[in-house]
């Protein structure tokens, strides 16, 4: 009798234990929460109806809610590396008591980006912006911890994605910096990084980068002072003397080392003219003359084929005494 009783007891208890562990889960949204972020927890089961069950939620040792069908709660995470233990205690409609646990530990990562190829003038106070297909250099700055210390950036694994597609060659252990080109076929590029630690902690961040059109801007050039950037020359210029124009192709991918340099085509009344340099042209009106000329400049980039721009200037000159 003793052996038979022992066998029956094990037979009834073991299925309940497996049932509780394998068929109940807590879904966390967002999946990788940041510090002090609101998180929704949802209880799921494919073995019984959670809507008919009494569910009690215990967060950090305190009961915060209980009721029939109480399958969702929202909590706020703590600081980086600070655990928030959560227990869901379920009494099913068949009066079976099930308990499942989860620990939420927020981690974070920030992304900063720059455009190493995009042209801006020296001492430009604004930000260099990317144009179509431009190269972007992105750096992930993780804030993740294990135990009592922060994990160094070089000791983490990084997965980089562009518009949801993994960029395998930029991903890997210690690769917290990635050089990526904007997607030619979309008007915006989503860049995502997923950071993982050796013990399974994760953090993720997504940013959206929108390309900017190339902006050719003309300034007057002075042999002594250089380009006079305090005044932009737009649409129309009236002059009684010789002058030199300086072209600034803002946000054009123009940097030493590109396989093919950008092309500058200068046209005067539709006829090609040759500037002193790609971005400098001196105009010499004839003495004792007057008239109007139309200057056009076309910029193209054989390395970044969608980077094209054009600007035009009407020149009114009068050198009569």
Same-domain check for residues 30 and 11:
yes
Q: What is the pLDDT of residues 11-50, one digit of tens each?
A: 332 333 334 444 889 999 988 888 899 999 999 988 888 9
Geometric angle at alpha carbon 161, from 212 and 159, rounded to 5°: 135
Q: Which residues contact 265 (CB under 8 A, 6 or more apart)?
A: 272, 297, 298, 299, 300
Vertex 90 angle, CA 84 and 95, to 5°: 165
Q: Do 59 and 21 share a domain, yes or no? A: yes
Domain boundary among 104, 127, 145: 104
Bond prior to 68 in cis (omega within 30° of 0): no
* Model confidence at 181: pLDDT above 70: yes
pLDDT single digits (tens) 196-241? 999 888 999 999 999 999 999 999 999 888 899 888 998 999 988 8
Average of pLDDT values for 253-270? 75
Residue 46 confidence (pLDDT): 86
Domain with 242 in it:
215-318
The pLDDT of residue 4 is above 90 = no
Residues 73 and 55: their CA atoms lie apart, in Å, by 11
β-strands 202-209, 189-196: how paired? antiparallel
Instruction: Yes or no: say if 144 and 180 are a contact pair by the CB < 8 Å rule.
Output: no
Residue 18: per-residue pLDDT? 35
Same domain? 59 vs 39: yes
Which is more confident, 202 or 149?
202
More confident residue, 115 or 146: 115
My answer on whether 75 and 20 are in the same domain is yes
3-state DSSP call for residue 217?
strand
Residue 260 has what pLDDT?
Answer: 55
Tell which residue, 306, 266, 8, 93, has the closest CA to residue 181.
306
Whether residue 224 sits in one domain with residue 201: no
* Whether residue 100 sits in one domain with residue 119: no
Q: Percentage of residues in the chain with pLDDT exceeding 90?
A: 56
CATH code: domain of residue 241: 2.60.40.10
In this structure, are 26 and 98 located in the same domain? yes
Same domain, 55 and 122: no
**Domain end (from 178, 209, 240):** 209
Lowest average pLDDT, out of 144-153, 171-180, 212-221, 309-318, goes to 144-153
> What is the structure's pLDDT at 186?
84
Co-location of 100 and 22 in the same domain: yes
| Averaged pLDDT for residues 258-270 | 80
236 shares its domain with 310 = yes
Rounded average pLDDT over 239-262: 79
Domain count, the chain: 3
CB atoms within 10 A of CB 209: 20
**Percent of the chain surpassing pLDDT 70:** 90
Q: Do both 31 and 46 map to the same domain?
A: yes
Q: Is the pLDDT of residue 8 over 70?
A: no
Which pLDDT tens digit goes with each residue over 115-142? 998 989 888 888 899 999 899 999 999 9
Residue 114 and residue 182 in one domain: yes
What CATH number is associated with residue 158? 2.60.40
Strand (E) or helix (H) holding 15: helix 2-22
Domain boundary, last residue among 180, 209, 238: 209
pLDDT given at position 11: 31
């Amino acid at each position: 009798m003793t052996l038979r009783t022992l066998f029956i007891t094990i037979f009834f208890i073991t299925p309940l234990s497996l049932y509780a562990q394998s068929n109940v889960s807590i879904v966390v949204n967002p999946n990788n929460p940041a510090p002090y972020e609101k998180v929704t927890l949802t209880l799921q089961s494919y073995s019984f109806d959670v809507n008919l069950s009494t569910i009690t939620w215990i967060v950090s040792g305190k009961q915060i809610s209980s009721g029939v069908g109480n399958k969702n709660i929202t909590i706020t995470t703590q600081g980086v590396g600070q655990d928030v233990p959560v227990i869901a205690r379920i009494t099913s409609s068949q009066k079976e008591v099930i308990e499942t646990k989860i620990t939420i530990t927020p981690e974070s990562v920030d992304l900063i980006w720059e455009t190493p190829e995009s042209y801006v003038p020296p001492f430009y106070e604004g930000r260099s912006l990317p144009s179509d297909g431009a190269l972007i250099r992105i750096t992930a700055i993780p804030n993740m911890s294990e135990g009592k210390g922060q994990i160094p950036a070089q000791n983490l694994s990084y997965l980089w994605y562009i518009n949801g597609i993994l960029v395998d060659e930029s991903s890997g252990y210690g690769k917290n910096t990635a050089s990526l080109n904007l997607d030619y076929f979309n008007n915006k590029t989503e860049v995502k990084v997923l950071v993982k630690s050796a013990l399974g902690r994760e953090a993720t961040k997504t940013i959206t980068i929108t390309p900017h059109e190339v902006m050719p801007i003309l300034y007057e050039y002075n042999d002594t002072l250089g380009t006079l950037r305090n005044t932009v020359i737009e649409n129309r210029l009236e002059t009684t003397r010789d002058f030199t124009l300086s072209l600034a192709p803002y946000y054009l991918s123009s940097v030493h080392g590109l396989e093919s340099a950008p092309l500058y085509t200068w046209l005067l009344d539709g006829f090609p003219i040759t500037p002193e340099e790609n971005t400098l042209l001196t105009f010499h009106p004839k003495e004792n003359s007057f008239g109007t000329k139309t200057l056009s400049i076309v910029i193209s980039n054989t390395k970044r084929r969608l980077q094209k721009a054009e600007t035009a200037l009407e020149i009114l000159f009068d050198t009569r005494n």
